[in-house]
Structure 1
């Protein structure tokens, strides 16, 4: 372990134990409240080999655009049940929320997590119409480990084998994530991630070709330095190919910034709405091109 890397990637050390516990409790409490009165379908097995499941919240009379959101937890904790706190405010604006589980470390290796989350995205694109989703308007997102896993659904190169187009994802909101996992080989997190240099490289979206879809890459004002730096690095890498915006959210830490997605007045929430709106324009342009 390298002490400099350990410090740079220790998100937990940026807040007190009391703050951490309060935010973790808020994820579940606010998620339970948000979905209590929402129409939805829960417990759908999206991947037969792993048995992992997803929930769909906020359905309406017509197919709705999708926010496909992946939970964080440093790849070893939390679940889809902790990640639906934005579902009611999105539903009020005609947007469905899909929350996703994946196997956790140390039992599940990171490459398998990537496979599972990509499988979930493919399932939504292939079967979402049957469940009230507009599969031409999928925006992905996540926080921390969830941002990393969401980013792996955006990069090209895997979709053809999964039977979906490279344009299946129309936008991404990546929040407080890590996108080059090679430093974690030398960090305490590798006690449960068991990464090697080779596997870390293979699951790092920052080392892949950039996507062509618009992305908001966000970070909290109070982040560990490694997280802040990797957001800036990914923005530089991706902005040369597509519309990429780097956003720093003031007065927020690595954990509570995620909750801004449940606050309609927040810049983060408005950024998500902008991505959903952009997905409508992208689909209109695609259909016009197909008509020619």
Structure 2
């Protein structure tokens, strides 16, 4: 399919951030250091794919809230292990954290990733008692492609995954720089590994889906990101905003596409404070 040069430029994150390799290296360094000092349950298998695994970082307190993070990478790169350092600030507030991994394109199709993430969330809900967190306070977040998967979870009917009927298992949600209209990527080089046509891209786009889980939802974007990422969140906000008035749109000053997600690790950021406040946790530093 012909590449649209305008869309190619708008969604070329690495081209817009020349220092991206240094940023990823720092994430790896911070995550490795974090894993060495924190109690954890790593690579718990929830599905059949080689990457269908998740990590849980529990607090010492039973019945804690759980924050679940889904990494980005245009569904074709990155790994849950690179984002683990984001858990530390939540743990300091007494919130357990889980990181969901998933298989990548082109080894699997995007529709398979969608199914995996649904399975991963259902696994976390079903195993709450075993790992000591509160299944009634599970918050989800995700960055970029992970933001798309957060929105996908909000469109899910959970009965097929063994959850009780007429409940909304997602307590609250944060989508950071999310991709909610995947059809925007069909005419970009990103689609080389996704292999989507317009029909399937629309079918996998939350913008064109019904929101099944009504809960507080924050759509956050860095102010230095391209207009395309702002429009992605603005359009979803406009489409879903009439649902009980529980949606908020946040722009974080001084942040590009990669630096904005690190604000989840900053206890003083409005992004982090929004998440812990939704869970009923005092944002002042714990003693």
Work out whether 1:121 is the aligned partner of 2:121.
yes
Q: Which moved more, 1:171-180 or 1:231-240?
A: 231-240
Counterparts of 1:26 and 1:173, CA distance in 2: 23
Residue 217 of structure 1 corresponds to 219
CA gap 1:58/1:33 in 2 versus in 1, 3 angstroms = farther
Residue 241 of structure 2 corresponds to 239
RMSD: 1.6
- Does structure 2 retain, via aligned residues, the 8 Å contact 1:85–1:259? no
Runs of 4+ in structure 1 displaced over 6 angstroms? none
| Residue correspondence of structure 1 range 265-276 to structure 2 within 5 A | 265-276=268-279
Following TM superposition, by how much is the alpha carbon of 1:32 offset from its aligned partner in structure 2, in angstroms?
2.2
SS in 1 for 2:7: helix
Residue 284 of structure 1 corresponds to none
Residue 141 of structure 2 corresponds to 141
Residue 255 of structure 1 corresponds to 258
Following TM superposition, by how much is the alpha carbon of 1:221 offset from its aligned partner in structure 2, in angstroms?
0.8
Q: TM-score normalised to the size of structure 1? A: 0.90
Q: TM-score normalised to the size of structure 2? A: 0.91
Counterparts of 2:187 and 2:214, CA distance in 1: 32
Following TM superposition, by how much is the alpha carbon of 1:98 offset from its aligned partner in structure 2, in angstroms?
0.3
Stretches of structure 1 lacking an aligned partner (at least 5 in a row) = 279-292
Number of aligned residue pairs? 275
CA gap 1:203/1:110 in 2 versus in 1, 3 angstroms = same
Deviations 1:104-127 (Å, cap 9, x if unpaired)?
111111100010011000000011
Counterparts of 2:126 and 2:50, CA distance in 1: 18
Residue 282 of structure 1 corresponds to none
Higher helix share: 1
Deviations 1:12-56 (Å, cap 9, x if unpaired)?
22211xx20121112222222233322221110011365611000
Residue 281 of structure 1 corresponds to none
Stretches of structure 2 lacking an aligned partner (at least 5 in a row) = 282-287
- Does structure 2 retain, via aligned residues, the 8 Å contact 1:220–1:254? yes
